[in-house]
Amino acid sequence: MEPEQSLEERLASIETDLRTLVVRVTELELREPSAESTAPPAPASPPPPLRPPAIPQVAASPSAPAAPTPKAPRPELEDLLGGRVLAWVGGLAIFVGIVFFLVIAVDRGWIGVEARVALAFLGSTVLLGVGLFLYERRDQTDAAVAAVATALAALYASLTYAASVQDVIGTEAGLLVAALIGAVGATIAVRWHSQFVAALGILGALAAPVLVGSDTSTLALAFMVVALGSAVAVLLWQRWAWLAIGAFLISAPQLAEWVLERDDLSLPLPVLALYWGLFLVAGIGYELRVPTTELRASSASLLLVNAAVTAGLGWYLIDDRGSSNGATAWVLALTVGHIALGGFGFRQRMSSEIATLLVAVGLGLSGVTLALALDGPALVVGWSAEAAILAWVAGRTGEQRALVFSAAFLVLAALHTLGEEAPPDALIDGVPKLGEALVAVLSVGVAALIMGLLLERRDLWMVLFAFAAVSFVYAASLGIVDVIQGDSVENSQTAQVALSAFWGVIGLGAIVVGLVRDIRELRLGGLVLLGIGVAKVFAYDLSELDSLYRVLSFIAVGLVLLTGAYAYQRVRAAGRAV
């Protein structure tokens, strides 16, 4: 029987065991122990019973630094030529060979039509299987991708030959085969993240109704809608922006041909709305999936063209059926839809750039809606009011793009006025309806004046004030000519003398007020108007008016010029003296 140990001996034994355990745990924690540290240290002899030893601190070896991640080497020219170029050229050669085989077989009558089609599909499918085997089992090489892409192209070519050229496969069966090819291509593209395979598989499926010669059948439209929805889904999943542009370019002509062939509107209008919604989801969804501070040109172009195509096709379809009000209502509905979506986007996590673009598209469509719904002075008033409202929005929100649209509507209103209601030759011959002309011109002037009052930038409001002043002078000139002149030549010439004198007096008044108020821009405006009056006297009055009216015109303008010169020198001299 062993003698019973004392308390101090038992504590010393426990401490020794603990020290050995700490050393072993430390060795296990070391990632790369050195040769010296792999061997555990020899346990120390038990300490004397009366002096229990302290547990030694075990120093951990410093861990080895992490190896830097090697950078992928840049491919050399030899690797590029020997790998990618050879692979794609080889795939192209195979595709061309398949096409040539079909052509030669047809010309020489080697085999029957069904056999030729079967061989073409079989060869393309075998090539597809070889590409899949090389990629999945051997290596992810360019040769495998090229083989699959070539196989997809060859399958679509075989389908076109069988359905459109030889009429071996019916429309329904052809669309089914196209759907199968497209599904396989889309699956491979997503799995391999290959955009080239996606271009062939997905865009080829969208073009399938054309390839199989299905014309404008409802089945072909349904197939295209399903393929388009699949393309949008892949676009948002893989974030391939180009896919939306490609899908739009391929599907838009097919959609236009289909809707124009329909006699009723029960199906074309919902299809157009669905088409608009799909590409709206594509444009907005991509921006949400790949957020950025600035809106991409691809998404902006897609949303703009989508709105234009949908609005234009819908308006033409309804108007062609004899309902102009219904056509206007269609464009108005798209206008409200874009503006509502943009307003909703400002309150959600949607990018402000996208929301702004949607509102901008809606504003552009609103101008079109006004042009369709209104005519004459009413249209000018509508555009002018929209310009003033947008200027107010720009002033309250600081959004400069609203100011751009405001200026655009003001210019449209002015151009319409000069082209329809009050053309420049009305200053000579008068206008048929003076009231409508004055309403249009004054609407433009008031809108420009309001825009100038709402803006804080001096350069802009001075331009707008000048625009408003020209409009008011133009309106007064139209009134003078139309009221004074009549059917007689004398009254017509009297109107021209009065017009020259009116311009001179207004120019003189602007100069005097500008001198007294020390407003340089007003003085310059008065000088410009005086210059226009002088040019009119020498260019028109001298050649067109009779001698007496010519004399009156020259005297009137001359008096105005002398008065202006006197006032200019007198006020300027008084200003310098002060």
The predicted-structure confidence for 517-546, as pLDDT tens digits, reads as follows 778 888 888 888 888 888 887 777 777 777
- Mean pLDDT comparison of 75-84, 199-208, 450-459, highest-scoring range: 199-208
At 36, the pLDDT band (50, 70, 90 cuts) reads very low
Q: Nearest 5°: CA angle at 571, between 566 and 575? A: 150
Exposure string of 338-359, with b = 16+ CB inside 10 Å and e = fewer, is bbebbeebeeeebbebbbbbbb
- Mean pLDDT comparison of 62-66, 457-461, 470-474, highest-scoring range: 470-474
- Please tell me the predicted confidence (pLDDT) of residue 30: 66
> Higher model confidence: residue 351 or residue 50?
351
The answer, yes or no, to whether residue 441 has pLDDT greater than 90, is: yes
Average pLDDT, the chain: 78
What is the pLDDT averaged over residues 362-373? 86
Six-digit token string for 534: 């002088």
Domain boundaries, the chain: 1-52, 376-481, 485-577
CA 383 centroid distance within chain: 24
- Please tell me the predicted confidence (pLDDT) of residue 53: 44
- Please tell me the predicted confidence (pLDDT) of residue 74: 53
Q: Of 338, 447, 472, which is closest to residue 389 (Cα–Cα)?
A: 447
> Higher model confidence: residue 497 or residue 447?
447
Residues 537, 552: contact at Cβ < 8 Å? no
At 47, the pLDDT band (50, 70, 90 cuts) reads very low
Q: Left (φ > 0), alpha (ψ -120 to 50) or beta: where does 64 sit?
A: beta
Give tens-digit pLDDT for 109-154: 666 777 877 877 888 888 888 888 877 776 656 777 878 888 888 8
- Please tell me the predicted confidence (pLDDT) of residue 141: 65
What proportion of the chain, given as a percentage, has pLDDT over 90?
Answer: 14
At 439, the pLDDT band (50, 70, 90 cuts) reads very high
Residues 454, 392: contact at Cβ < 8 Å? yes
At 404, the pLDDT band (50, 70, 90 cuts) reads confident
What proportion of the chain, given as a percentage, has pLDDT over 70?
Answer: 80
Residues 219, 175: contact at Cβ < 8 Å? yes
- Mean pLDDT comparison of 135-144, 387-396, 446-455, 488-497, highest-scoring range: 446-455
Residues 268, 326: contact at Cβ < 8 Å? no
Six-digit token string for 538: 């020498």
